[in-house]
Amino acid sequence: MKYGLPPIINENCQILILGSLPGEASLKAQQYYAHPQNQFWPIIAAILQEELPNTYLERTAMLLEHRIALWDVIHFAQRQGSLDSNIKAAVPNDLEQLISSYPSITKIILNGNEAEKQYLKHFKHLAVPTFKVRSSSPVPARTCNTFAEKLADWQQAFCKQI
């Protein structure tokens, strides 16, 4: 079984980014998006017009400073390796509790297809506007999702009015 990480959130957060379940590099480092080829942190820095911080602590502080929370849809699941396609028997996080504890969350951004699939399976009833973006993972990059394409997709989701 693979278990996810705790949320990065505070009472000021307005946007919640949800991935599926951290990959092996992230679980080993106990840091979201720790794989060096994952484009999450460069995408976020570009959207926020910030220099990419060097440390994980600085990166998470940047998120919170810009009122962005981070978590995953899946609490734990069976998975060999890091591919979302290998996720089996997924058990969701308690997203309802998180949303009720942080009512300032007014938008959810789903990072990739598996995050969207799991969200729709367990949480489509939630009344928070939700937007799916192309995965920041290096794997979908092989299907012609360049950094520029991903960045444009993410920027559009961040700019959409609720």
Please tell me the predicted confidence (pLDDT) of residue 138.
79
Quick: pLDDT tens for 10-45: 999 999 999 999 999 999 999 999 999 999 999 999
Residue 143 has pLDDT above 70, yes or no: no
Q: Determine contact, residues 110/133, Cβ cutoff 8 Å.
A: yes
Quick: pLDDT tens for 56-102: 999 999 999 999 999 999 999 988 877 777 788 899 999 999 999 99
* Three-class SS state of 120: helix
> Of the candidates 88, 101, 68, which has an alpha carbon nearest to the alpha carbon of residue 21?
88
What are the residues whose beta carbons fall under 8 Å from the beta carbon of 39, sequence distance 6 or more?
Answer: 136, 137, 138, 141, 147, 150
81 or 50, greater pLDDT: 50
Q: What average pLDDT does this structure show over 109-115?
A: 95
Alpha carbons 44 and 52: distance in angstroms, whole number: 8
Residue 140 has pLDDT above 60, yes or no: no
pLDDT grade, residue 144 (50/70/90)?
A: low
Identify the weakest region by mean pLDDT among 30-44, 119-133, 141-155: 141-155
Residue type, 70: L
Give the H or E element holding residue 76.
Answer: strand 74-78
